[in-house]
Protein backbone atom coordinates (compact mmCIF):
# COMPACT_ATOMS: atom_id res chain seq x y z
CA UNK A 1 0.00 0.00 0.00
CA UNK A 2 1.32 3.41 -0.92
CA UNK A 3 2.00 6.09 1.66
CA UNK A 4 -0.04 9.28 1.65
CA UNK A 5 1.28 12.82 1.75
CA UNK A 6 0.07 15.10 4.52
CA UNK A 7 -2.42 16.81 2.17
CA UNK A 8 -3.73 13.46 0.89
CA UNK A 9 -4.10 12.14 4.41
CA UNK A 10 -6.01 15.24 5.47
CA UNK A 11 -8.51 14.75 2.65
CA UNK A 12 -8.81 11.05 3.51
CA UNK A 13 -9.61 11.96 7.14
CA UNK A 14 -12.52 14.09 5.94
CA UNK A 15 -13.62 11.45 3.44
CA UNK A 16 -13.61 8.74 6.12
CA UNK A 17 -15.73 11.07 8.23
CA UNK A 18 -18.30 11.78 5.49
CA UNK A 19 -18.04 8.40 3.68
CA UNK A 20 -19.38 9.90 0.44
CA UNK A 21 -18.77 13.51 -0.59
CA UNK A 22 -18.29 15.98 -3.40
CA UNK A 23 -15.20 18.15 -3.63
CA UNK A 24 -17.29 21.10 -2.46
CA UNK A 25 -18.47 19.19 0.64
CA UNK A 26 -14.89 18.24 1.47
CA UNK A 27 -13.74 21.85 1.14
CA UNK A 28 -16.49 22.84 3.56
CA UNK A 29 -14.81 20.81 6.32
CA UNK A 30 -11.44 22.56 6.00
CA UNK A 31 -10.60 25.41 8.38
CA UNK A 32 -9.99 28.90 7.01
CA UNK A 33 -8.30 29.65 4.73
CA UNK A 34 -9.98 26.94 2.71
CA UNK A 35 -8.01 25.31 -0.11
CA UNK A 36 -8.88 26.05 -3.73
CA UNK A 37 -11.37 23.77 -5.47
CA UNK A 38 -8.78 22.79 -8.09
CA UNK A 39 -6.28 21.83 -5.37
CA UNK A 40 -8.69 19.45 -3.65
CA UNK A 41 -9.89 18.08 -6.97
CA UNK A 42 -6.31 17.33 -8.04
CA UNK A 43 -5.51 15.58 -4.75
CA UNK A 44 -8.71 13.51 -5.05
CA UNK A 45 -7.62 12.38 -8.54
CA UNK A 46 -4.20 11.42 -7.14
CA UNK A 47 -5.93 9.44 -4.38
CA UNK A 48 -7.96 7.65 -7.07
CA UNK A 49 -4.78 6.79 -8.95
CA UNK A 50 -3.25 5.43 -5.75
CA UNK A 51 -6.36 3.31 -5.17
CA UNK A 52 -7.56 5.01 -1.98
CA UNK A 53 -10.64 6.67 -3.50
CA UNK A 54 -13.23 5.92 -6.14
CA UNK A 55 -16.19 7.91 -7.42
CA UNK A 56 -19.74 7.68 -8.63
CA UNK A 57 -21.41 10.15 -10.93
CA UNK A 58 -24.12 12.44 -9.58
CA UNK A 59 -25.60 14.75 -12.18
CA UNK A 60 -22.75 16.61 -13.83
CA UNK A 61 -20.40 16.02 -10.91
CA UNK A 62 -18.93 13.21 -8.86
CA UNK A 63 -19.22 11.90 -5.35
CA UNK A 64 -16.07 10.36 -3.91
CA UNK A 65 -15.74 7.58 -1.38
CA UNK A 66 -12.84 5.78 0.30
CA UNK A 67 -11.92 2.32 -0.97
CA UNK A 68 -9.82 1.56 2.10
CA UNK A 69 -10.93 1.82 5.71
CA UNK A 70 -9.31 4.15 8.18
CA UNK A 71 -8.51 1.13 10.37
CA UNK A 72 -6.66 -0.64 7.55
CA UNK A 73 -4.64 2.46 6.72
CA UNK A 74 -3.89 3.14 10.40
CA UNK A 75 -2.67 -0.42 10.91
CA UNK A 76 -0.42 -0.26 7.85
CA UNK A 77 0.98 3.15 8.84
CA UNK A 78 1.66 2.00 12.41
CA UNK A 79 3.48 -1.08 11.16
CA UNK A 80 5.59 1.09 8.84
CA UNK A 81 6.45 3.38 11.79
CA UNK A 82 7.43 0.44 14.01
CA UNK A 83 9.49 -1.19 11.26
CA UNK A 84 11.20 2.04 10.21
CA UNK A 85 12.02 3.56 13.60
CA UNK A 86 11.83 0.79 16.19
CA UNK A 87 13.33 -2.23 14.35
CA UNK A 88 9.92 -3.93 14.26
CA UNK A 89 9.53 -3.90 18.04
CA UNK A 90 6.33 -2.52 19.55
CA UNK A 91 8.03 -2.86 22.93
CA UNK A 92 10.77 -0.46 21.77
CA UNK A 93 8.12 1.98 20.56
CA UNK A 94 6.23 1.95 23.87
CA UNK A 95 9.51 2.23 25.75
CA UNK A 96 10.47 5.26 23.65
CA UNK A 97 7.21 7.05 24.41
CA UNK A 98 7.46 6.13 28.09
CA UNK A 99 11.02 7.48 28.39
CA UNK A 100 10.12 10.70 26.60
CA UNK A 101 7.08 11.18 28.89
CA UNK A 102 4.71 11.12 25.93
CA UNK A 103 2.63 8.38 27.54
CA UNK A 104 1.18 8.49 31.03
CA UNK A 105 0.96 5.72 33.61
CA UNK A 106 -2.82 5.76 33.16
CA UNK A 107 -2.38 5.25 29.41
CA UNK A 108 0.02 2.37 30.02
CA UNK A 109 -2.43 0.75 32.44
CA UNK A 110 -5.22 1.10 29.86
CA UNK A 111 -2.99 -0.52 27.23
CA UNK A 112 -2.18 -3.39 29.60
CA UNK A 113 -5.88 -3.94 30.32
CA UNK A 114 -6.58 -4.02 26.59
CA UNK A 115 -3.82 -6.58 26.06
CA UNK A 116 -5.13 -8.71 28.93
CA UNK A 117 -8.64 -8.64 27.51
CA UNK A 118 -7.28 -9.83 24.12
CA UNK A 119 -5.47 -12.72 25.80
CA UNK A 120 -8.75 -13.86 27.32
CA UNK A 121 -10.38 -14.20 23.89
What does the domain layout of the chain look like in residue ranges?
A: 6-66, 70-119
Q: What is the pLDDT of residue 101?
A: 73
Exposed, middle or buried, 82 (CB in 10 Å: 0-12/13-18/19+)? Answer: middle
Residues 98, 82, 54, 5: what is their CA dihedral angle, to the nearest 10 degrees?
80
Which class is 6-66 in CATH?
A: mainly alpha
Q: What is the mean pLDDT of the chain?
A: 91
Beta bridge partners of 63: 56
Reported as a pLDDT band with limits 50, 70 and 90, residue 121 is low
For residue 42, give the nearest of 53, 32, 58, 31 by alpha carbon.
Answer: 53
Whether the per-residue pLDDT at 22 is higher than 80: the answer is yes
Phi, psi torsion values for 26, nearest 5 degrees: -65, -45
Convert the pLDDT of each residue in 42-80 to its tens digit.
Answer: 999 999 999 999 999 999 999 999 999 999 999 998 888
Distance of CA 59 to the CA centre of its chain: 29
For the entire predicted model, the pTM comes to 0.77
Radius of gyration of the chain (CA): 18
How far the first Cα of the chain sits from its last, in Å, is 30
Reported as a pLDDT band with limits 50, 70 and 90, residue 120 is low
Average pLDDT estimate for 103-108 = 82
Amino acid sequence: MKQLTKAEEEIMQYLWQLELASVKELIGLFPEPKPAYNTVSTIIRILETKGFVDHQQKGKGYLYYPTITKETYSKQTTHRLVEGYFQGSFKSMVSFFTKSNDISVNDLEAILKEIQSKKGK
